Each structure stands twice: as C-alpha cells, then as structure tokens.
Amino acid sequence: MGLLEPRRRPGRAPALGPADHRAAGDPAARRTTTRRADPTHRRTHMSTDAPTDRRAPIRTLEDLAVDGKRVFVRVDFNVPLDGDGAITDDTRIQAALPTLRRLLDEGAALILAAHLGRPKGVDPALSLAPVAARLGELLGRGVALSPEVVGAESTRLAAALEPGQVLMLENVRFEPGETKNDPDLARAYAALSDGIFVNDAFGAAHRAHASTEGVAHHVEQAAAGLLLQGEVETLEGILADPGRPLVAIVGGAKVTDKIGVIDAFLERADTILIGGAMCFPFFKAQGHEVGSSLCEEAGVEPAARALRDAELKGCRLLLPIDLSLGREFSATTEQRDLDGVDTPDGWMGLDIGPKTAAAYREEILGAGSVFWNGPMGAFELEPFAPGTRTVAEAVAETEATTVVGGGDSAAALQQFGLGDQVTHLSTGGGASLELIEGKALPGVEVLRQA
Ligand SMILES: Nc1ncnc2c1ncn2[C@@H]1O[C@H](COP(=O)(O)OP(=O)(O)O)[C@@H](O)[C@H]1O
Ligand SMILES: O=C(OP(=O)(O)O)[C@H](O)COP(=O)(O)O
C-alpha cells in the first residue's frame, strides 16, 4: 500500500457445505488433503505453541491514575489525504476516540503524538494540522497543534495544559530521532507528561520507534489504550482459542510477504483459502501454466513448501478452480472466464472465478471463525471485483467470529459498505500480520507487566 492510501465481529455448528462435497469428489479442487473440517477437532499443539501463551499480561488503562495528570498518548492517525490535503477516511481517528474520551473523563490532559506518512525531515504537506482539526470536531473540543514535535514551544504548551485539554504535537517523523528510537527524543517525550504514557497506536506497534517503544522506558506508568488492547486481545484470541473450524483467507499480491502468515495458519487453521495473485506461485509449483499473470518467482518455492506442509499437518489448503482473465491490468481490458487454472499465453488471472467464489463462500458460511487478509483479485478494477465482493459478503453474512487484518481487505470491505458487519476490522495492516505470525510487537511488549 502507498503511504497515504486508505488504511485502511458467536460461532455456530459448522455444517459441511456443498463446497466440501464438490471438492472432495473433484480433483480439480486441488485440496491437498481430504480431511474434513471437524468442529470438535482441536489440535493438541494449539495449547502449547500459541505465540503469546507465555507472555505476561499487558498493562491497561485500569492500571493508571490519571486524574489531574498530563498524559503522553501515542495514536495512529496515519490517515489517507487527497491531493488537497483533506482527510478521505478518518477511521483511525474515530478508533482512538474511546481511549481519548475516557482519559479526558478521568481528568487527564492529553499530549498526543502521531505520524503521518514517511517524511524525510520536516514536510509541510505531511503536517498533522488537518488531523488536529478533524479530531477537534470529533471530540467536540479544541485540539491545539504545536508547530514542532519537541522543543521550547511544545514544552510551554504542554506545561500550560489544564485537565480536559488536548495538545497535539507535529508529525513525530519530522524528528530524525523518531524512527531511530533515539533515547534523548524518548526522554523529551516523557518530560512533556507527568510520567504517564498510553500507547493506542496499534497500527504502528510493530515499529520500535521513540514514541511507540522508547518513551515507555522513561515514564513511571505505561499502559495500552483501549484500541491497542482490543486489537491484541482479538488477534491473539483467534490464534489461541478460535471457534472451529477456523478458516483463514489469504489473498493479495505477494506470497513472500505473507508466507509467515500462511505458516502460522498451517499450524492452527482447519482450512486456508488462497486467492488473489497469491495463487499463481502455487499453480506454478503444481506445474500449471500461469500465462502473463502476476506471479512472484520468489514465491514458488515457499508455495511448494506450504503445499507439502499442508499435507503433513492435515490442513486443507484450497486453491481456485476457475479464474477470471484479462489481457492486461485494466478495467477496460478484454475479459474471459476460465474453467480451470491453466492460463493461456497473452492472458492474466485478475480474479477468482465464480465456482471458486461460490465454494469459498460455503467454507466461510460454515466456519466457526474466519481471519481474512488480502483481496481475491484486482478488486479496484470493477470487472475483477466480484470474487472479492463475494468473499466480503460471506464474511459479513457468516455467524462465525470474523477478523479482518487491515490493509486492502479492510479497504475492500469499506468499499462494499460492509466494514461494520465484521467482528473485528483491524486498524493495522502490517501490525496485524506480524502479530498473527507470532512476532513480538515492540510497542506491545514494552507494556507487559514485569
Ligand atoms: N490476480 C491479481 N493480479 C494482479 N494483482 C492482484 C491480483 N489479485 C490481487 N491483486 C492486487 O493485490 C493488491 C493487494 O495486495 P496486498 O498488498 O498483498 O494486500 P493487503 O494490503 O490486504 O495486504 C491489490 O492492489 C490488488 O489489485
Ligand atoms: O499505516 C500503517 O501501517 P499499515 O499500512 O501496515 O496498516 C501504520 O501507520 C504504520 O506506518 P509505517 O508503515 O509507515 O510505519
């Protein structure tokens, strides 16, 4: 995703859907094992190797005393802007409101820190001014913006704060020490507060930066905000104790970026549904023709290994059985359906076909829990949106617990007007994937109780 592009909810007895019957009798379904999803099935290793089992709990707002205190709050307000610098999607600002309102209601004054884009030094186009203005509207109170990140002016403005007031610092990435996790900068952040740090920036929790990780070492109290806490609990929950069957849908463009996620789900999921350009390295590994489809060469070997691992681990890894083809990556390109997956020369697969979409829909409707990351095709091109739309509608419709891991799948859900019909729509793309992979997120680890 581009820097300023959009960032982008009980289980039922899972009946075997028609897709199971069709696929079980149909070698073209390319499932690598024939084991059926069994709702009573719990892998024994589930309880032993969930990535977070051994970690201490995270400190939360319950652990803080903020009345009459100035609190340094890190939020992820990395929102998309249009060419005129106007915010086109304020989801991330809205998502932080419960934390901010609660701290204000408890008598705190807030010093907010956030990044926008990836500036190299000060860049007026990436000022947080429009964000401060929008936050002020949403909170119904003024939000002052310091013209700098740290320095005499920020110190003066922070010192003058009364309970209930909000000060936003300029884009923390205007300071070169931010992304280097410079301890002096981290100390300067802490000094603006009364020794209290709240991290609610889940989308940036995979970054060990001065305002996400470093500052926590220089305050007396550090805790997770409600958003970060909810994100971590939900994502860890779907790994540790998912409703069965657990169906993971992995799409998008690059296997190499998401092989860690596929590996994590090979250990835990009952079924993995592969879509998007992600399927072509799998097809290549199986000896199929991919035509001029986007097929990441470096993904072929990991895909072959994932196919072998799926057999070994008894995870159903399903690949498309039909495709929607175009001549080129364009909304106006010549289009045809392919019943099968051997893509002819001069054509590229730009979406899963209707049979695949219908089969994936049945898997999702029969799931106890669903995790989705990555679109099923080039959904931003209307002719190639139907596969992603069918999956999005099934994710919205299923009674399963549904977790969508940010990024383009979250954008797709919003595009189809279904963003509010899932159990959990993550505000973090990279952060949610790293957490699912079992990686430690620095911005979360630093909040664990000693
Ligand atoms: N078959 C395909 N061919 C080309 N591009 C595709 C195809 N399927 C999906 N894509 C592209 O993949 C991109 C999203 O991939 P990715 O960044 O991996 O997803 P996410 O942001 O959800 O992690 C979209 O821009 C979409 O156009
Ligand atoms: O938008 C973000 O990440 P995401 O695109 O992975 O959801 C976060 O604000 C982190 O931004 P960064 O990837 O510039 O550190």
The amino acid sitting at 259 is I
What residues of the chain score a pLDDT lower than 70? 1-54
Select from 335, 319, 314 the least CA-distant residue to 281: 319
CA of 430 from ligand 2 middle (Å) equals 6
pLDDT for 7 equals: 28
CA of 26 from ligand 2 middle (Å) equals 41
pLDDT for 418 equals: 96
Q: Which of 294, 330, 347, 436 to mutate to test the pocket of ligand 1 (most atoms within 8 A of CB)?
A: 294
349: Cβ below 6 Å to ligand 1?
yes
Q: Which of 325, 403, 408, 425 to mutate to test the pocket of ligand 1 (most atoms within 8 A of CB)?
A: 408
Sign of the dihedral through C-alpha 170, 175, 179, 184: negative
Give the predicted TM-score (pTM) of the model.
0.84
β-strand 323-326 against 348-352: which pairing, if any? antiparallel
Catalytic residue at 448? Answer: no
76: Cβ below 6 Å to ligand 2?
yes
Identify the residue whose C-alpha is closest to ligand 2 atom 15: 204
Q: Are 145 and 107 in contact (CB under 8 A)?
A: no
CA of 193 from ligand 2 middle (Å) equals 25
Select from 213, 302, 322 the least CA-distant residue to 254: 302
Q: Are 222 and 216 in contact (CB under 8 A)?
A: yes
Domains of the chain: 18-52+237-437 (3.40.50.1260), 61-224 (3.40.50.1260)
Q: How far apart are CA 60 and CA 447, in angstroms?
A: 8
* pLDDT tens digits, 377-404: 999 999 999 999 999 999 999 999 999 9
pLDDT for 54 equals: 54
Residue 346 carries which DSSP code? T
Query: In the structure encoding, which two tokens stand for residue 89, read together?
Result: 């999607």
